[in-house]
Structure 1
Amino acid sequence: MRKRLIQIFGFLITSLGWLFVLCTMAMDFWRISQIGGQGGSFIIKVAWYWSNLWKDCFSDSTAVTNCRDFGVLWAVTPYVQGVRGLLMCGLTLGFFAVVLCFVGMDCTYIGGADKTKDKLLLSGAVFHVAGSVADLAAYCLYINRVARTAFASSIGPGILRYDLGPPIFLGLVGCFLILLGAMFYAVTVCRVLCPESQVVYAYGGGTYMSPRSRGRTLYTGYYKPSRLYGSYTGTGRSSSSKISKISQTTRTKKSERDAFV
């Protein structure tokens, strides 16, 4: 029951994160710059320059907005193309991640056996992490471009110093939620990553196996010496002294007098 609740909580968190990232692609005010202020008249003269991934706009104090849509794909600024591509790759990976996680959750009755569902859920968590990293790289690329212009010591004429807008922060929150939900998924299927292992000791013609369990070690197995000294079978713990004596025994050649007797 606790496993199902964690998976449902992770599904809700990751879905909300991808919704945040998807909304940022259509939002305005990715970067914004304000020029002007109170002038010498009774009218406050202010102008705002803002842009997103698809257009550049200008708004004045009279609430009139003029926008210029970006041209064809190859005419757009290279860093804007990079941000678009990374976000689209991240959203595509997120779509497949949501499908895989939905099929692999315990509360759904599709996906096959429990082991298969765990593997599907683990694959979905990996897709979530890869998609969120792609989205995070896109936002960091845009932030780096804006920060380089804003903190430059000198810029050319006609170049504005922009500030970061709300979509950037909303997208960063979405990436954090996606990573958090992927961690919840991974916790519920950690046994797939770290299955219980057994330590096998081979000696002579036999083997000794000591399986690993939680909080204790079980000693079960058998010791079988070479056929040269007969056979020995037993269960439970074997004395180390007896094993050392058997291992130290060597075959000696009989003398002619002993053979005669």
Structure 2
Amino acid sequence: MRKRLIQIFGFLISSLGWLFVLCTMAMDYWRITQIGGQGGSFIIKVAWYWSNLWKDCFTDSTAVTNCRDYSVLWNVSYYVQAVRGLMMCGLTLAFFAVVCCFVGMECTYIGGTEPTKDKLVFSGAVFHFVGGVSCLAAYCLYINRVARTAFASNLPRGELRYDLGPPIFLGLVGCFLIFFGAVLYVVTVIGVIFPNRRVIQVYGRPTYMPPAYKGRSMYTGYYEPSRLYGSYVSGRTSSKVSRLSQPSPRLSERDAFV
């Protein structure tokens, strides 16, 4: 029952994280800057320049927005192309991760036997982790580009200093949720990682013991009994013990007299 609840919780957490990541691809204001808004005039004039993965836009103080879409792929900056590629790779892996985890969960009636379902859940957790790393690398690349421009000492003429927008922070939260959901999946299928270990009770606490120590205890298994008098096999003594335990032959009267 506890395994089922953890898997359901992990499914919800990881799915919510991927939903956050998916929303950030369509959101505006990946980077934003403000020009104006200060001065002695009683009419405050301000303008906002902002961008996302698909267009550059300008919004004036009258709330009129003019945008320039990225026309073709090779006219886009290299880091925007890299961010797009990493995000799409992460979302593709997310599809396989969600399918594997859904089929392998204990609460579903598809996927085969329990060992097969555990392997599917473990594979889905790996897909979640790799996809989350891909999306996290995309956000970090975009953050690095914006930060390098913002903290540069000398900017080229006409280039603006941008700030990070809300989609970046929402995506980082989504990556954290994805990693947390993957960890919950792995916790429920720890037997797939260590298939040759079993749980034994040592002083009332469960402990994992490798197969080399099966059948041994604190007092047996390390010191073998002496083989001087043979050994016990299946409740019967060996031939050597049998010969030692046989009664001695009866002596004749002449030998007894001597």
CA distance in structure 2 between the partners assigned to 1:93 and 1:193 by the alignment: 21
Q: CA 1:123–1:36 in 2, change beyond 3 Å: closer, same or farther? A: same
Within-5 A mapping of 1:223-242: 232-234=231-233
> Is contact 1:14–1:182 with CA below 8 Å preserved after alignment?
yes
| Alignment-derived partner of residue 211 in structure 1 | 214
CA distance in structure 2 between the partners assigned to 1:132 and 1:178 by the alignment: 6
| Alignment-derived partner of residue 11 in structure 1 | 11
- Give a deviation string over 1:3-32, Cα, whole Å, max 9, x none: 100000000000000000000000000000
Within-5 A mapping of 1:64-213: 64-195=64-195, 196=197, 197-199=210-212, 210-211=213-214
RMSD of aligned Cα (Å) = 2.6
Could you tell me which amino acid in structure 2 is paired with residue 63 of structure 1? Answer: A
| Alignment-derived partner of residue 245 in structure 1 | none
Q: Aligned-pair distance for 1:224?
A: 11
- Give a deviation string over 1:73-93, Cα, whole Å, max 9, x none: 111100000000000000000
Q: Aligned-pair distance for 1:42?
A: 2.7
CA distance in structure 1 between the partners assigned to 2:36 and 2:12 by the alignment: 44
Q: Aligned-pair distance for 1:136?
A: 0.2
Q: Normalising by structure 1, what TM-score?
A: 0.79
Q: CA 1:218–1:159 in 2, change beyond 3 Å: closer, same or farther? A: farther
CA distance in structure 1 between the partners assigned to 2:234 and 2:153 by the alignment: 80
Q: CA 1:78–1:190 in 2, change beyond 3 Å: closer, same or farther? A: same
Deviates more, 1:2-11 or 1:35-44: 35-44
Structure 1 counterpart SS, 2:45 = strand
Q: Aligned-pair distance for 1:41?
A: 3.0
Structure 2 counterpart SS, 1:156 = coil
Give the paired residue count: 222
Q: Please, which runs of 5 or more residues in structure 2 have no aligned partner?
A: 198-209, 236-258
Q: Normalising by structure 2, what TM-score?
A: 0.80
> Is contact 1:35–1:48 with CA below 8 Å preserved after alignment?
yes
